[in-house]
Amino acid sequence: MKIVIDSITKDFGSFDDPGSIFRAVDAVSLEVRDGDLVTLLGPSGCGKTTLLRMLAGFEDPTSGNIFFGERRMNDVAPNKRNATMVFQSYAIFPHLDVRDNIAFGLKLKELSKKEIRERTERVVELVGLEGLEERQPSQLSGGQQQRVALARAVVMEPSVLLFDEPLSNLDAKLREQMRIDIRKLQQRLGITSIYVTHDQIEAMSISDRVVVMNRGRIEQMGSPRELYARPVNRFVASFIGKAAFLPAEKDAAGAWTLLGKPWRPEAGEELTAGAYEAMIRPEAVRLSPLEDSGRNAIAGTVLRATYLGSVMEYEVELPGTEPVTVHIPNPFERDPLPPGAEAELRFLPEGLHFLPAEA
């Protein structure tokens, strides 16, 4: 089912006291294709959860429209939306066992006993809860509770699945496993899904498309690859992955300077003259001892070298700007540069991206 969000705004606060009004979601428009999983990603307070709750019907938009398919949903009660949700706190009914939790919605639909049993059993198997059907919620681990919450939503065969930071209460290992399981399940069932998270790795690994939100607005929407390689601004660039931003300028003749020195970036030919910020990802930098050979190399001083196993992470200080983070793969191949060492940096053209300079 296609979802269309058309210029949705949500204000909180008392209308009797205009000073107290807070705009949580600000004229957001968005289209989700049938069967896609779209993530709403952003820092806390960016409006992502409010947007999700409006889709579920728990909040009422101040203005704008929500469509599931062709149907306008604004005035449809939450219990009539067929958009089931996996809650951050799981919201397992504490007085019901696992089976009754999962069958809760089916029983409300007054389906036949046989159908309820069959569908419940199928989902129990699908999420891997076999043998735990009789357990009380208090006897379940966090991961198992998470699976009950997922099963309870999926068993309804909803037209839309909503996820509200479902993995934020799990430990790192389990989170990774659940991420994979949720994605597999979603693709297998082909249910259009909206997934809220503040974890960029989670967003990138699970989504068809990611919507980056900040202060109630959409900053950028795109595939994980687009967002990482071609962020539209500094907020998106630094929210998804690490990056350094170096002042660069292109003159009318097409010549570049970086940090005030002549530079040939091997990228950005299409850009007009003006001031830019060159966004540099840590893995797109090559670092070598200072030899004063390449004209395109930028000289700097190693501040810190940290061995992270899969990479060696350097902080390199450049004159007149913030330090640059550099990731050098295969750290066992050579000796690290010690702190204080003079070094030169080269930027790989594939990892370079120019943003208009921010005032």
Question: Which residues contact another protein by CB under 8 A?
Answer: 15-16, 56-58, 60, 62, 75-85, 87-96, 104-105, 108-109, 136-139, 152-153, 156
Q: How far is the CB of 2 from another protein (least distance, A)?
A: 20
CA distance linking residue 311 with residue 133, whole number of Å: 45
Q: How far is the CB of 151 from another protein (least distance, A)?
A: 12
Rounded to 10 degrees, the C-alpha dihedral 35/203/229/5 comes to 50
Q: How many Å separate Cα 69 from the centre of its chain?
A: 25
Q: List 343's β-bridge partners, or say none.
A: 289, 300
CA distance linking residue 302 with residue 342, whole number of Å: 6
Q: How far is the CB of 290 from another protein (least distance, A)?
A: 53
CB-nearer residue toward another protein: 27 or 76: 76
Q: List 212's β-bridge partners, or say none.
A: 41, 220
CA distance linking residue 55 with residue 58, whole number of Å: 8
Q: How far is the CB of 56 from another protein (least distance, A)?
A: 6
CB-nearer residue toward another protein: 78 or 323: 78
Cβ atoms of residues 25 and 9 within 8 Å: yes
Q: How far is the CB of 122 from another protein (least distance, A)?
A: 17
CB-nearer residue toward another protein: 55 or 221: 55
CB-nearer residue toward another protein: 24 or 343: 24
CB-nearer residue toward another protein: 80 or 286: 80
CB-nearer residue toward another protein: 110 or 333: 110
Give the residue from 258, 255, 235, 238 showing the smallest Cα distance to 320.
258
Cβ atoms of residues 66 and 73 within 8 Å: yes
Q: List 161's β-bridge partners, or say none.
A: 84, 193
3-state SS assignment for residue 137: helix
Q: How far is the CB of 148 from another protein (least distance, A)?
A: 11
